[in-house]
A and B are shown apart, each in its own frame.
Chain A
């Protein structure tokens, strides 16, 4: 039971925070919905970037896989959103299993660039090659055909919010488990020294493949949530230019930490939301903040919160020790 609460407590607290904020700021419900959906996308990226040290400049491709899998099903085949989400997850899984063995052989800049190339090709595919299915730049529209279930009508923003919260909660519980598991330690170990992992007896190729596939599945899941909420998907979701967003948000939160993606998403979308109401080029503020984080706050928002917490705890312990020493001294005299 204690073991279970270790993985559930933190995610539930963060979900509760989002729910409270949603009721405190009712006109910001879409913002909090996006925090949860984008948060899953950032978690996907953090498994590769934060834990395994693999930077990708093509994450929108994996988001697009899920979004288009769900959208194509809803626009052409069926109406059930759960099947749409399942298909998106399956598409992510198949992508990971097929592309993984080739892509994860590459390291550093080569891995980053092959993903950028894949993303550009993905954009071309959905815009031109698959036009009869994807409708090119005009995109796919299927909102009216999405079938409500007895408990959930995803055409209603309130239902979408709660549904996404449940999905985010489950993903965060999985992510917390991963962070604290030996598998998470193995991912971090590979980032530190792949050779040493091999000498310990790990097949690092399989480990990287597993991490890559996890990333594909979670990014596709996030893509399907975008597709279902908007009832519309067009090629802009796979724009290579948007790959910077996911990297910046991961960096802002603190890569390789369990709550980093959540806080990174909150910071990134918060700045975007706030600054875009004041000036059109909100990216300027995000850029400046990213530079500051790179130079002065290596662990990002979550890393800084942890450091402050550790300092406060150390001070409290020091003060506690001083009081007990004083008490001991006075009782002696």
Chain B
């Protein structure tokens, strides 16, 4: 039985007076690939941003590796081994790929780039290119490589395949599989066929609540979660 890595219990989050997450509870176990699905505005990104320490919850508990991280600032959550890759594919445009990776390394004191670049061999050929001159797929690879430095136990990815060409998505799919051998992955994804392929478990969210948890592989492959969206 795998240990629970991340536990979110009865989480409520508000943007000032606007209540956006209502008693959200999820559990992520070591080694899983969990996908969170839901329409725009369902609260998926808010959930990730709160877990990553960027937003403060109004109530509820967030524990990572058994420790309360609910009130930690974002940088400390990252240092503890929980990384968050934002949706905007925002790499540091003025810095080269090498410098982008150096920033990932310096924060975590992990300079073993080979281990990370094995997942994204294309990046090895782009080391001196500015982040701003990369394609969408290359940016996503760089973001993932940057976040994997420091060997995080848990990586939250917010819509990593959004806006990418099908062949790039295929490459990323392979990367997800390889990465999941080392880190636990939680992915927000709108691409349902991809979800069906990579997910061990699926949480469906709607209007700020978790409305379903699908654990059966057969149901996931049959896109049974679609009816909750």
List residues of chain A with CB under 8 Å of any chain B CB: 182, 185-186, 188-189, 192-193, 195-204, 256
Chain B, residue nearest A182 (CB): B106
Kindly state whether residue B73 has any CB partner on chain A within 8 Å: yes
Interface segment among B84-92, B180-188, B213-221: the answer is B84-92
Within 8 A of A (CB), among B55-109: 73-76, 78-79, 83-86, 90, 92-95, 99, 102-108
Kindly identify which residue among A189, A193, A198, A256 contacts B74, using a CB–CB cutoff of 8 Å. A198
Within 8 A of A (CB), among B126-184: 146-147, 150
A-B residue pairs in contact (CB < 8 Å), sample of 29 = A182-B102, A182-B103, A185-B102, A186-B103, A189-B95, A192-B90, A192-B92, A192-B93, A193-B90, A193-B92, A195-B54, A195-B86, A196-B90, A197-B103, A198-B53, A198-B73, A198-B74, A198-B75, A198-B78, A199-B74, A199-B78, A199-B83, A199-B84, A200-B107, A200-B146, A201-B108, A202-B75, A203-B75, A204-B75
Complex CA–CA separation, A258 to B75 (angstroms): 28
9 cross-chain pairs, A with B, having the tightest CB-CB distances, nearest first? A201-B107, A201-B78, A198-B74, A182-B106, A201-B79, A185-B99, A198-B75, A192-B92, A200-B107
Kindly identify which residue among B90, B92, B102, B150 contacts A201, using a CB–CB cutoff of 8 Å. B150
Complex CA–CA separation, A192 to B53 (angstroms): 20
Kindly state whether residue B210 has any CB partner on chain A within 8 Å: no
Chain A, residue nearest B95 (CB): A185
In the bound complex, do residue B102 and residue A188 qualify as a contact, i.e. CB atoms below 8 Å apart?
A: no
Q: A182-B106, A186-B106, A193-B92 are in contact. Are A201 and B86 (CB under 8 A)?
A: no
Complex CA–CA separation, A196 to B146 (angstroms): 11
A82 to chain B, nearest CB (A): 35
What are the residues of chain A within 8 A of B99 when measuring CB–CB?
A: 182, 185
A53 to chain B, nearest CB (A): 11
What are the residues of chain B within 8 A of A200 when measuring CB–CB?
A: 75, 78, 83, 103-104, 107, 146-147
Kindly state whether residue B52 has any CB partner on chain A within 8 Å: yes
Q: A185-B102, A196-B86 are in contact. Are A202 and B107 (CB under 8 A)?
A: yes
Complex CA–CA separation, A182 to B105 (angstroms): 9
Kindly identify which residue among B86, B93, B94 contacts A199, using a CB–CB cutoff of 8 Å. B86
In the bound complex, do residue B94 and residue A192 qualify as a contact, i.e. CB atoms below 8 Å apart?
A: yes
In the bound complex, do residue A185 and residue B74 qualify as a contact, i.e. CB atoms below 8 Å apart?
A: no
Other than A182-B99, A199-B83, A201-B75, give 14 A-B pairs with Cβ distance below 8 A: A182-B103, A182-B106, A185-B99, A192-B90, A192-B94, A193-B90, A195-B54, A198-B53, A198-B73, A198-B74, A198-B78, A199-B54, A201-B108, A202-B103
In the bound complex, do residue A198 and residue B108 qualify as a contact, i.e. CB atoms below 8 Å apart?
A: no
What are the residues of chain A within 8 A of B53 when measuring CB–CB?
A: 198
In the bound complex, do residue B90 and residue A188 qualify as a contact, i.e. CB atoms below 8 Å apart?
A: no
What are the residues of chain B within 8 A of A197 when measuring CB–CB?
A: 75, 103
In the bound complex, do residue B52 and residue A199 qualify as a contact, i.e. CB atoms below 8 Å apart?
A: yes
What are the residues of chain B within 8 A of A201 when measuring CB–CB?
A: 75, 78-79, 107-108, 150
